[in-house]
Structure 1
Amino acid sequence: MKIKTLNGSLLTDGCSSLWPAINAPFLSLRGIPTAAVTGDRYQAIFKGILEGFDAITGCEVKDLYKFAHYLQSIDEDVPSELATLVRAFGKWVAFDYAGARNLFKTHIQVYPTDVQAIFFLHMLDFCTGRTAELKPLFNFCDGYMEESHPLYSFYLGIKAFVLCESGLFDESLVVGLEAVRRNPDNIYAIHAVAHALHEQGMWEEMRDFLEDTKEEWIRNPGMRMHVYWHLAITYRKLGNPEAAKMAFLEFYALKQDRFAKQDLDAVGFLWRLKLEDIDDHSFDEVWKELAILWSGSIGSSTSHFHNMHAAFAFAGANQPLLIEKMIAESDGFGVEPDTHQAGMDVMRAIACFARAEYAQCLRLLSCSQSLWPMLGGSRAQRELLSMTQVFCQTYLSMQSELERMLVNH
């Protein structure tokens, strides 16, 4: 049952009802308009929460502590729509991810149509390698969510991405396309559709979809680089390397500033090229720049998904010493134990790759493979690890065959 509050808003909408004007066009993900003006102190608190949330999804210790400081400044006089969320974020920044997850779920049990809160939980899961675990929650929320809800398209977009990460690619595509149909500006839904198409290898459909919707997604500062990454990969898969290279150069130029931490996609695309031709040096200067930019994450990140990309950047720049330094600085702080073990194995594997020790790289990747989802990110992004495996396997097979031929001759 949907219970009305005194001002007529739906209690089940939770924090999403506190500031409708800011929620309606987007979900917070580095996209709060600079001109956004809060109307009361609760909206001001909510804005601070949105800004802090955007920052901590980068998984940097400094941002987590800055947000913790902000949360401590919030007095106890907050509306019920925010109270449990403030506690949940308090657990998140204290690295108690299970506690944060439970509090987010507690809030959603009370406010099952609070799409913003669902997104908070979804991003916590994304950062900590539990994205698919959100799927059962939709069965509960579906019983309350109405198509007339102003954030229904965003709800479907989140659901589509979770379905994709759960391996339900066909269902994900249907839900994602419906979300885009309802709101063509919903970049999170566009991104979910791209992931569903990627997982099914529907490259022609991906190209057409992303080109047709480009006018919408290219305007979003928070996710346009990632969607462009999908388009660059698509052109590569379709055998159009020039279009792929142009797409890469265009999305790399979209960084907010030179030192903005938006290089996951650049690393992800260039590593694919390196695996296709290990002797190609056309992007050596970009690799050097990426290595410099990622060096700041050594010892400061709580995400082995980010550390994985940093390691690839260092390997691409032929700097295995930086990977070894990152391994030495990684003590598991802020990371769940199994995730830490998997992350360490992955970093060691990439260090081996950088030293051309492909047999050891393959062994380490194979040992940790079942734990890769715990690193965080998406299937498409973690695909770099399986592609690296294939490279090592192919290289070692070729070496073995060459040695056999030499013996026979």
Structure 2
Amino acid sequence: MEEDAWGNAVTAASAEAARALDETALAYMGFRLDTGAHLKAALTADPEMPLALIYRGYFFLLFCHPALARKAAETRERLLPMAEGGALNARERLHFRALDLWVDGDMQGANDAWEAVMLDWPFDPMAIRLAHYTSFYMRGGTAMRRQSARVIRDWAGRDLPGAGFIHGVHAFSCEESGDYANAERHGRMAVEMNPADIWATHAVAHAMEMQGRHREGIGWIRANEADWNRTNNFRFHVWWHRCLYHLELGEHDEVLALYDRAVRAESTDEYLDITNGVAMLWRLEQEGVNVGGRWDELADRSAERVHDHILCFADMHYVMALAAAGREAEAKDMIAAMRDASDGDFSSQGEVYRRIGLPLAEAVVAARAGRHQQVLDTLLPVREDIALVGGSHAQRDVFERTLLESALAAGKGALARALAAERVDAKATSAYGWRRYADALDLCGDAEGARAARAEMARLAA
């Protein structure tokens, strides 16, 4: 039995194996390219190290890819005799339980297992980070905030490896629960501790976006991006956030340039990379920007994932890409496959597909086809459930925008005015919100109100 960098007992054949696993956890928390290399080193030092094998299973599942999910299941089978034979300590048994449940699609059960780890072992960074991840795609900011609040005071002020990462986790939890001041405080603290902490940088970027601090947000990302040379594809997502700032400022050429050289510089099949591209092109077209042939590449990549049905959030964007590229038949086939896959599926995501995924997918296809009344009829009754699809407030905003655009296109002035009024109340510095509010007031015959709204839009854009 060895001890990890945070004082937790680890079943390992050597101190070398335990140290390699520590580095694996730190690399994962930092979104580093060498995460796999450290895990390989741990398993080379001890091929039967239970927690290293569990981590491998976790990493397979994080890709949200069916082939890798099967590898996670194989890893579980390899671990099962160890778990049943008493080779795991109490903390490791809870981690195995999390993997076991997650392989079966029970993200909530896995989340509960990590919460149990955090109660008795608050200095377990992997449990903290994975609970954070799964809550993000299930229960949202309130659950995330509750989880990170339980441990942040344990870590604060302690000279522990990766302590800054826990502040970054808490920063994003605060942002998603609406506490932007604490989000920025903890995020900046984390970046001061480790300038390469891209998750903390991202948390502050979120807070600035939600507060309409667009130019400040651009400066924040520019100031930190030089430290991301060792990070993985997540840097593409942070550049996506920079695109959001430029979009609000009406700097469409800069958005497209950033898209081409940063957000989608590589044609990857990683789900977050695809969702970045889809969500940005969708927003650009809503503002009348010609995006050229950029949809084709995203649609081709999405067509490769039409039978995944692992994460509803990702599937929504695959449907959007197919519909936007004019491949409505394929988008409808994917929706049919989603319906078949979710029928009788009682996993955590199965319920999400049935409750919001299917109507949301049908609505985005209808929006692209110009069937705007269908969008309203489909989305309005389930609007409050959109959060269940997962993702951040900023990411899900593409669906709120689609509802507003359809209300305007359908000529529903009163509804459009109500939706736009909600928007400018929540984001008073959004030029897009004021523009659409003016359009809605025009539909309602309120020319004076529309002029005032456009004056505010012009003031913000100046």
CA, structure 1 residues 139+151, in 2 after alignment: closer, same or farther (shift >3 Å)?
Answer: same
The Cα of 1:112 is off from its aligned counterpart by 0.6
Verify the 8 A CA contact 1:365 1:389 in the aligned structure 2.
yes
CA, structure 1 residues 266+253, in 2 after alignment: closer, same or farther (shift >3 Å)?
Answer: closer
Residue 410 of structure 2 aligns to a residue whose secondary structure is helix
Distance 1:163 1:22 in 2: 26
**Could you tell me which amino acid in structure 1 is paired with residue 369 of structure 2?**
R
User: Normalising to structure 2: TM-score of the pair?
Assistant: 0.78
Partner of 1:90: 100
The answer to whether 1:167 aligns with 2:178 is yes
The answer to whether 1:297 aligns with 2:302 is no
1:205-220 paired onto structure 2 within 5 Å: 205-217=216-228, 219-220=230-231
Partner of 1:67: 72
Distance 2:8 2:119 in 1: 9
Partner of 2:407: 393
**Could you tell me which amino acid in structure 2 is paired with residue 95 of structure 1?**
G
Verify the 8 A CA contact 2:184 2:204 in the aligned structure 1.
yes
Which structure's relative contact order is higher, taking Cα pairs within 8 Å and 6+ residues apart? 1
Partner of 2:277: 266
**Could you tell me which amino acid in structure 2 is paired with residue 62 of structure 1?**
A
Partner of 1:55: 60
The Cα of 1:299 is off from its aligned counterpart by 2.5
1:47-196 paired onto structure 2 within 5 Å: 47-74=52-79, 75-76=82-83, 77-147=87-157, 148-196=159-207
CA, structure 1 residues 131+357, in 2 after alignment: closer, same or farther (shift >3 Å)?
Answer: same
CA, structure 1 residues 14+178, in 2 after alignment: closer, same or farther (shift >3 Å)?
Answer: farther
Residue 297 of structure 1 aligns to a residue whose secondary structure is coil
The Cα of 1:129 is off from its aligned counterpart by 4.3
Q: Deviations over 1:103-126 (max 9, x none)?
A: 111111121111221101111222
Distance 2:115 2:281 in 1: 38
Partner of 1:368: 382
**Could you tell me which amino acid in structure 2 is paired with residue 203 of structure 1?**
H
Q: Deviations over 1:263-322 (max 9, x none)?
A: 111111101111111xx5442x22122111101222222222111111211121022212
More deviation in 24-33 or 108-117? 24-33
**Could you tell me which amino acid in structure 2 is paired with residue 287 of structure 1?**
W
User: Normalising to structure 1: TM-score of the pair?
Assistant: 0.87
CA, structure 1 residues 329+30, in 2 after alignment: closer, same or farther (shift >3 Å)?
Answer: farther
CA, structure 1 residues 82+18, in 2 after alignment: closer, same or farther (shift >3 Å)?
Answer: farther
CA, structure 1 residues 137+399, in 2 after alignment: closer, same or farther (shift >3 Å)?
Answer: closer
Verify the 8 A CA contact 1:304 1:340 in the aligned structure 2.
no
Verify the 8 A CA contact 1:13 1:115 in the aligned structure 2.
no
Partner of 2:420: none
The Cα of 1:363 is off from its aligned counterpart by 2.4
Q: Deviations over 1:309-344 (max 9, x none)?
A: 112111210222122111111131342425522111
Partner of 2:14: none
Residue 239 of structure 1 aligns to a residue whose secondary structure is coil
Verify the 8 A CA contact 2:30 2:197 in the aligned structure 1.
no
Question: Equivalent of 2:328, from 286, 297, 320?
Answer: 320
More deviation in 362-371 or 267-276? 362-371
Partner of 1:19: 21
Distance 2:242 2:48 in 1: 37
Verify the 8 A CA contact 2:32 2:230 in the aligned structure 1.
no
Verify the 8 A CA contact 1:172 1:196 in the aligned structure 2.
yes
Partner of 1:337: 351
Distance 1:44 1:125 in 2: 28
The Cα of 1:48 is off from its aligned counterpart by 4.1
Verify the 8 A CA contact 1:228 1:247 in the aligned structure 2.
yes
Any unmatched runs of 5+ in structure 1? none
Distance 2:394 2:374 in 1: 24
**Could you tell me which amino acid in structure 1 is paired with residue 334 of structure 2?**
M
Distance 1:388 1:184 in 2: 36
More deviation in 31-40 or 234-243? 31-40
The Cα of 1:245 is off from its aligned counterpart by 1.4
**Could you tell me which amino acid in structure 1 is paired with residue 111 of structure 2?**
R
The answer to whether 1:200 aligns with 2:211 is yes
1:351-366 paired onto structure 2 within 5 Å: 351-366=365-380
Verify the 8 A CA contact 2:188 2:204 in the aligned structure 1.
yes
More deviation in 331-340 or 159-168? 331-340
Query: How many percent identity over aligned positions?
Result: 21
CA, structure 1 residues 197+59, in 2 after alignment: closer, same or farther (shift >3 Å)?
Answer: same
Residue 184 of structure 1 aligns to a residue whose secondary structure is coil
CA, structure 1 residues 197+376, in 2 after alignment: closer, same or farther (shift >3 Å)?
Answer: same
Verify the 8 A CA contact 2:356 2:389 in the aligned structure 1.
yes
Distance 1:191 1:297 in 2: 27
Residue 19 of structure 1 aligns to a residue whose secondary structure is helix
The structure with more helix, counted as a fraction of residues: 2
The Cα of 1:11 is off from its aligned counterpart by 3.8
Verify the 8 A CA contact 2:139 2:388 in the aligned structure 1.
yes
Residue 187 of structure 2 aligns to a residue whose secondary structure is helix
More deviation in 216-225 or 88-97? 216-225
The Cα of 1:239 is off from its aligned counterpart by 2.6
CA, structure 1 residues 245+397, in 2 after alignment: closer, same or farther (shift >3 Å)?
Answer: same
